[in-house]
Amino acid sequence: MIKRLCVFCGSSPGFDPAHAEAARALGTALAAAGIDLVYGGGRVGLMGIVADSAMAAGAKAYGVIPHALARLEVEHKGLTELHLVDSMHQRKAMMADMSDGFIALSGGIGTFEELFEIWTWGQLGDHAKPVALLNIAGFYDKLTSFIDDVVEAGFLRDAHRAMLMVESDPAALVARMQAYTPPAVEKWIGREER
């Protein structure tokens, strides 16, 4: 049962207003499903938008931010809880522990790094939680195409590729995550298998 979802996203809103609209819609969809938000604790960019929309719709919002980034990302002081930590490692570990699944909205290299690390942890069996991309305005199309190429090249199993859900509609994505069943496969790929 999913009670809290972690959202990785940009501390910038991006140039296309579709990204901000999607962050608002995702916050609202989480609240409508009775799910609270865990995220990076910032007040600016998509981070602030998803948190504000989730809380406005009735969800709780839990932020985790390192002291060094609190000023840069402008820590959100209106959250249900804001946890200040010493490092990015502590931030990611705490967000992972607090969450029942993970969604990457649009963002930059920090968002990508968080996504790939948590997906890797799932592949290695460190957790059995759903991991997903909210693909707005085709933002992740080239990335998902590349990931499919990685499967074709024999470096990623089909089952592990399927662990990364991709949707363009926030409510549909939340519903898919609630129905998620993790694959029961080994990590390693042999020459004759995928």
- At residue 190, does pLDDT exceed 70? no
> How confident is the model over 105-156, as pLDDT tens digits?
999 999 999 999 999 999 998 999 999 999 999 999 999 999 999 999 999 9
- Asked: is 4-138+165-178 a CATH 3.30.70.580 domain? The reply is no
CA distance 190 to 155: 10
Let me know how long the chain is.
194
Domain boundaries, the chain: 4-138+165-178
Q: Is the pTM of this model over 0.75?
A: yes
How far apart CA 88 and CA 165 sit, in angstroms, is 25
Provide CB contacts within 8 A for 155, sequence distance 6+.
189
